[in-house]
Structures are given as C-alpha cells and as structure tokens.
Amino acid sequence: MAENNIECNSVVDGNVEEVPNKKIIKFNPPLYKQRYQFVKKLVEQHQPKKVADLGCGDACLLMILKYQKCIEELVGVDINEERLKWNGSRLSPCMGDHLDPRELDLVITLYHGSVLEKDCRLLGFDLVACIELIEHFDSEDLAKFPEVVFGYMSPAMIVISTPNSDYNSLFPSAVFRDSDHKFEWSRMQFQTWALDVANHYSYSVEFTGVGEPPAGAEDVGCCTQIGVFRKIAKATESAVLEHHGKHVYEVIYTTSYPSLQQMDYCRRVVTYLVYREVNRMKRRYQVSLRQHELEPESADNGNPTRKFISDPPVPVLTEADKAMEMIPQPFCIGDKFYVPLERIIAYPRLGHICGNVEKLREFLADVVELNCDGSAVKVDLHDCGDY
C-alpha cells in the first residue's frame, strides 16, 4: 500500500467525499483488485470446479476466474438486472478461445435474483464468494443470509469480505464508505458473527484481510477483513440432489466455452498441431537437403565442380529432438516425405491430448493423408503450399 500525503479528497473504492486538509490513502493495487486477487489465489490453491459469485455486480471477478483452468462452471447472482445484461457480453468467448480451446468445458451463467432466495441450481458448489456483500443487508436480511448460503447452498468453501470499521479512523470522514451500507463492523464484531455462523452450520473459519495499514497504524488491521469458511461436515442429502427444487432465479446470460472435451474442437487442435510439427520437420529436412545436395568434388583451374547427393542425410536434430533419437525418424521416398505417428505423438501436447498412436490415427482419419499401413503422415516434399 502506498500512502499519499496530499491534502485532497478521500477516496475508498471509488467513493469521494470533500474533506479539506486531510490525507488521502491510496492502495496499490486498488483495494477491489486485491480482493479479487485473494479469491483467485484461493481458486489456484484449492482447484474448485464450480464457483459462484453472489452479488457479482459488474462481473469483474467472473472475468478473472474464467481463465482458471480448473473451473468448469461459473455463476454470478445479482439483484441488478440491467447491470447483468450490460456486462454479460464481456464473458463471451473470444477468437483466441476458439483457436486455443480450454482443456475442460466451461459454462458461465448470470442469474437475476436475490441471494437471500433459495435456488437449487446453486447447490453442489465448491466455492461461493460474497465480496463486499453482507454490509448491504439490513438486520432482517442479514439474519436470513446464513441459512440460505451456509445452510441451504452449503458449499465446500465460502469467502466473505466486508469493510473493517477499525480502519475507518484513518479516513477523513466518519461516515460509512458507501451510502448503501447498512453497517460496517469492527474486527471483533465480524469475527464474533462469523464464528457463531461457522459453529452453527459446521464450518471452520480463518480470518485475514487485504489493504495493509500505513506504518505506525498497524493496530487498526487491514482495510478489508475476510473470513474463509470451510465445510467440516458431510454434505446433507438435500444438498446432493442438485436438480430437485425450485428455480427462482431468472437466467440473464449464459455461454459455453470451446474445450478439448468437445470432439470437433479436439480434432481441430490435433490436426493443426500435426500439420505444424510435420511442416516444421519437412522444412528442416529441406534445408539440410539444400546444404548437402551439392558438394565440392575436384578443382580445375580454380573452378570447383559439384555433384548431387542422391541420398540426403537425416535432418539435423535440435537438443529437444536428441531425447527422441530412439523414436522412428522422418524419412523420404522419392518426392514424398513421411513422419511416423510414433514420432508425432512424442511431442508433449499431442501425447497429452491423444494418449496413444491409435487415438492419434483416429483423429487424423479422412483429414490427413497417411501411408498405406497408416503408420506415418505422408506429404509432398517439394510442395511449399502443403499447409
């Protein structure tokens, strides 16, 4: 965190209040980004497959999490329908997602509705994020919140962030950080509430925060306080039956990302990678051929004569290729260049996707020309337009 001692307005998460002759505290990165990065690190550490953001707002957290390879389902819920409609398109797959598909499927859905309502489509999640949400509830809604999220949804992990009012003493104004906040808790108040909820619903909880205080003010704690809850009891039968119950939320936006689990995309990626590797080896062979097809034979009056080398040598191998010397090498018969499938599958990504030569051959069927026994890719040696 960087502290700027200029006398000017106070800014916290975009809120500005005219207060002369006071210091401004700036966070680097901005506080909202620190909160999102905290959730991202949790995802990287615990590898959840299903993640929901309650009170998703402008969907910025979902935008960050959609790049996490472990996630297969992302859900955002918010009460502001117009905001969801406006930001939904930001979650659509781009051209790069089609050219380089994900390893796993990903479905993203935005729901319009209150997080205080029970919808069975929010059951069975691995992680539920409630970032700067609870402070917008009045006392009646706050009382409903644990029963819906901890009791009904009952995800494996819940992360809740909320302002730390102890830190507010460093700001020039004593009012809440947002005009819509119904309360802002001290660390003691938040921890008391969180421990009570955790004990009631069989969760453990750890406390942390983001937005470090400036030097000399460490006693106020972080600007944003965070509780990370982990389920310690077995899932109830009602939580396991994900598709039994009411659908109270309205789907505002949904999209699916291309992945290698979809056969069309997988075949397209395999074909492209095979084309690339075969063409790379062919070009290297052609360079080696040009370097050796004419060699000095004798000298007559200072003018050397050259001869054609009918059997060109095996292409020069790179360091990476030397580890593959025991694998069948590319070869040339007449004007045809052959690359054995055993060599192609030795390249890490192709080996990861296909697993074995038989599967690779299946992917290439009717797409790439193979030799008569189907053991090698066959291309024209001198056709520069192969690929």
CB 155 within 8 A of CB 48: no
pLDDT > 50? residue 245: yes
pLDDT at 17: 40
pLDDT at 113: 97
Q: Between 25 and 37, name the one with better pLDDT.
A: 37
pLDDT at 381: 85
pLDDT at 11: 46
Helix, strand, coil content of the chain in percent (nearest 5): 35, 25, 40
**In CATH, what class is 263-291+315-380?**
mainly alpha
Domain over 2-257 is classified CATH 3.40.50.1000:
no
Q: Residue 320: pLDDT band by 50, 70, 90 thresholds?
A: low
Domain ranges for the chain = 2-257, 263-291+315-380
CB 113 within 8 A of CB 249: yes
pLDDT at 323: 57
pLDDT at 325: 65
Q: Between 183 and 4, name the one with better pLDDT.
A: 183
Q: What is the pLDDT of residues 48-85, one digit of tens each?
A: 999 999 999 999 999 999 999 999 999 999 999 999 99
Q: Residue 319: pLDDT band by 50, 70, 90 thresholds?
A: low
Distance between CA 309 and CA 292 in Å, rounded? 7
Least confident of 112-121, 199-208, 242-251, 306-315: 306-315
pLDDT at 313: 57
Q: Residue 324: pLDDT band by 50, 70, 90 thresholds?
A: low
What is the pTM assigned to this prediction?
A: 0.77
pLDDT at 177: 84
Share of the chain above pLDDT 70, in %: 81
CB 23 within 8 A of CB 172: yes
pLDDT > 70? residue 249: yes
Q: Give the CA angle between residues 144, 145, 147 to the nearest 5°.
A: 70
Could you identify the residue written with the tokens 């809440």?
A: 176
